[in-house]
Structure 1
Amino acid sequence: MNALMAQTHSKILSGKDFLTMKETTSKEISALLELAQNIKAKLHAGEEYKPLTGKTLGMIFEKSSTRTRVSFEVGMLQLGGNALFLSSNDLQIGRGEPISDTAKVLSEYIDGIMIRTFEHEKIMELAENASIPVINGLTDLAHPSQVMADFLTILELKGKLTGLKMSYIGDGNNVANSLMVGCAKMGMNFSLGCPEGYKPDEEIVAYAKGVAAENNCEVVVTTSAVEAIKDADIVYSDVWTSMGQELENSIRLEAFKSYQINGELVKHAKKDYIFMHCLPAHREEEVTAEVIDGPNSVVFHQAGNRLHAQKALLVDLLS
Structure 2
Amino acid sequence: MARLFVNTLRAQVQSISKYARNASSLIGRDFLTLKDYEKDEIETLLWTAKDLKCRLGNGEIYEPLKGKVASLIFQKRSTRTRLSSETAFSLLGGKACFLSPDDIHLGVNETIRDSAVVLSRFSDVILARVYGQKVLDDLANFADRPIVSGLSDTYHPLQALADILTLQEHFGYVKGLKCAWVGDGNNIIHSLILGGLPLGMEFRVATPSGYECFDHVIKDAKNLAEKHQATLTFTNNPFEAVSGADVVVTDTWISMGQEDEKEARLKAFADYRVTKKLMSNASKEAVFLHCLPRKQEEVDDEVFYDPARSLVWEEAENRKWTVMSVFLHLLANHRPLINKPKF
TM range (shorter): over 0.9
2:57, 2:99 → 1: CA distance?
30
- Work out the CA distance in 2 between the residues paired with 1:60 and 1:21: 20
Residue 310 of structure 2 corresponds to residue 293 of structure 1: no
Whether the aligned pair in 2 keeps the contact of 1:120 and 1:141 (CA below 8 Å) is yes
Match of 2:31 in 1: 18
Choose which of 85, 105, 124 in structure 1 pairs with 2:98: 85
Partner of residue 192 from structure 1, selected from 183, 205, 208: 205
Letter in 1 for 2:302: E
Deviation at 1:15, TM superposition (A): 6.0
Structure 2 counterpart of 1:223? 236
Deviation at 1:184, TM superposition (A): 1.4
Q: Which has the larger radius of gyration?
A: 2
Moved over 3 A (4+): none
- From 113, 118, 125, the equivalent of 1:100 is 113
Q: Find the residue that maps to 1:122 and give its secondary structure.
A: helix
Alpha-carbon distance in structure 2 between the residues aligned to 1:36 and 1:73:
16
The equivalent position to 1:241 in structure 2, one of 254, 267, 273, is 254
Please give the secondary structure, in 2, of the residue aligned with 1:53. Answer: coil
Q: Deviations over 1:223-242 (max 9, x none)?
A: 00011111111110001111
Cα shift at 1:49: 0.6
Amino acid across the alignment from 2:301: A
Opposite residue 261 of structure 1, the aligned amino acid is V
Q: Kindly provide the CA deviation profile for residues 44-78 of structure 1, in whole angstroms up to 9, marking residues without a partner as x.
A: 33211111100010000000000000000000111
The DSSP-based 3-state class of the residue aligned with 2:208 is coil
Q: Deviations over 1:262-315 (max 9, x none)?
A: 0100111111111000100002x1111110001200000000000001110010
Q: What is the CA-CA distance between 1:92 and the residue it aligns to?
A: 4.5
Q: Which moved more, 1:43-52 or 1:62-71?
A: 43-52
Question: What's the offset of the Cα at 1:22?
Answer: 0.8
1:149 matched residue in structure 2? 162
Give a deviation string over 1:17-39, Cα, whole Å, max 9, x none: 10001101111000111111111
- Give the equivalent residue in structure 2 for 1:7: none
Matched, 1:170 2:183: yes
Give the residue type in structure 1 aligned to 2:300: T
Residue of 205, 210, 217 corresponding to 1:204: 217
- Matched-pair contact (CA < 8 Å) for 2:275–2:299: yes
Amino acid at match of 2:180: S
- Taking a change above 3 Å as real, the CA distance of residues 206 and 316 of structure 1, as seen in their structure-2 partners, is same
Cα distance change on mapping 1:95 and 1:175 into 2, 3 Å? same
- Taking structure 1 as reference, are residues 200 and 67 closer, same or farther at Cα in structure 2, changes over 3 Å only? same
Aligned equivalents of 2:105 and 2:294: distance in 1? 33
Q: Which runs of 5+ in 2 are unaligned?
A: 1-22, 333-343
Distance apart, 1:107 and its partner CA:
0.5
Which sections of structure 1, spanning at least 5 residues, go unmatched?
1-9
Q: In structure 2, what is the Cα distance between the partners aligned to 1:315 and 1:102? A: 24
2:62 alignment partner in structure 1: 49
**Deviation (angstroms), 1:11:** 5.5
- SS in structure 2 of the partner of residue 190 of structure 1: strand
Report the more deviating stretch, 226-235 or 64-73.
Answer: 226-235
C-alpha distance in 1 between matches for 2:257 and 2:72: 20
The residue aligned with 1:214 is 227
Give the corresponding residue for 2:322.
309
Q: Look up the match of 1:27.
A: 40
| Alpha-carbon distance between aligned partners in 1 of 2:101 and 2:180, rounded to the nearest angstrom | 35
Q: 1:279 aligns to what SS in structure 2?
A: coil
Structure 1 position 214, deviation (Å): 2.1
User: Could you tell me which residue of structure 2 aligns to residue 112 of structure 1?
Assistant: 125
The one-letter code of the counterpart of 1:287 is V
Partner of 1:71: 84
Deviation string, structure 1 residues 162-219 (Cα, Å, up to 9, x no partner)? 1111111000001011111112111110111111000001111122112112212111
C-alpha distance in structure 2 between counterparts of 1:94 and 1:214, whole Å: 38
Identity of aligned residues (%): 40
CA gap 1:281/1:68 in 2 versus in 1, 3 angstroms: same
Superposed displacement of residue 95, structure 1: 3.5
- The two structures have a TM-score, normalised by structure 1, of 0.94
SS in 1 for 2:53: helix
Cα deviation code 1:85-128 (max 9, x no counterpart): 00122124364311011000110111110000001011000011
Correspondence for 1:274 among 276, 283, 287: 287
Task: Tell me the equivalent position of 1:3.
Answer: none
TM-score by length of 2: 0.88
Q: Secondary structure at the match of 1:268?
A: coil
Number of matched residues?
A: 309
